[in-house]
Amino acid sequence: MTKARIIDGKAIAADLQGRVARAAARLKEDHGLTPGLAVVLVGEHPASQIYVRNKSRQTVEAGMESFAYTLPTDTTQAELLSLVSRLNADSAVHGILVQLPLPDQIDPQPVLDAIDPAKDVDGFHPANVGRLWSGRLDALVSCTPVGCLILIREAVGDLVGKRAVVLGRSNIVGKPVAALLLAEHCTVTLAHSRTRDLPGLCREADILVVAVGRQGLVQGDWIKPGACVIDVGMHRVPVPERGEGKTRLAGDVDFDAAAEVAGAITPVPGGVGPMTIACLLRNTVIAACGQRGIDVPDM
């Protein structure tokens, strides 16, 4: 029987998206400003095509302007850099997102570095990474980590002095989540595949964020009783008993076992996933306000 509270990321994301849409409407009314988000997809990566379509649809639903660019798989580095340069100069575009992964002939770092930090709604530019780690309020912070923090705040309340363990040290999730939790006055350990005694370390965590990309790695006996568990993993796994070719989504945590022990836990799907786009739209509003010198409305 499940003991943990299931953190409803879908409902929390819908609530945030509503607040972002209201903020966008106020900007239009008070300042004649419609935030605009440009999303660039290179190639035909199937999962990326779905993500990009969802981002564009939800941007429009939130009352903002969406600019979608789909470039062929054989696009060159120079062609992509030229598009980024045009978007940097376009005053109707307040946020720029280049969907990753990029095809092999394109080195992603120079592309991410070329995005104007003021329009960097992914928070991947070194200027924004540096601002985040310096505790500056003017950082644009990557979307999935902000989504994780919103869910943690909702589940835990006061984070001051809590022991947090972040499993996974990627630039997209692990490192920025650790920076955000540190800014909230948690005591943070950033663990990874070479960390000794991962289960023992995880058992010390009041807050455990798992973003390692290994399905079902975290077992029930890795969890401290009552802990808040945030599962960023997303894997499609076969379910042969439901029929041939049938699949389901699963995370990095053994959900059923962990839910017996945790105080609160995110499901997969319906946990962290829905938060990412809501936070992207929020970042677009923040970026638009920054570029126009307007105070950011409450969201």
Is there binding between residue 122 and ligand GUN (CB under 6 A)?
yes
CB of 125 to ligand GUN, least distance (A): 12
DSSP 134: T
Nearest partner of 24 among 54, 52, 59, 53, judged by Cα = 59
* DSSP string across 199-226: HHHHTT-SEEEE-SS-TT-B-GGGSPTT
**Applying CB under 6 A, which part among 14-22, 93-101, 152-160, 225-233 lies near ligand GUN?**
93-101
Smallest gap from Cβ 118 to ligand GUN, in A, equals 17
Least distance (Å) from ligand GUN to the CB of residue 231? Answer: 16
Q: Please choose, out of 94-102, 238-246, 263-271, 287-295, the segment that lies near ligand GUN by the rule CB under 6 A.
A: 94-102
Give me the residue whose beta carbon is nearest to ligand GUN. Answer: 100
DSSP state of 159: -
Is the CB of 174 or the CB of 254 nearer to ligand GUN?
Answer: 174
CA distance 104 to 80: 13
The secondary element (H helix, E strand) that includes residue 229 is strand 228-231
Provide the token pair at 170: 């990627």
- Tokens representing 15 are 């609530």
Choice from 25, 68, 81, 100 touching ligand GUN (CB under 6 A): 100
> Is residue 284 close enough to count as binding ligand GUN by CB under 6 A?
no
143 makes contact with ligand GUN (CB under 6 A): yes
Residues assigned a catalytic role? 55, 99, 122
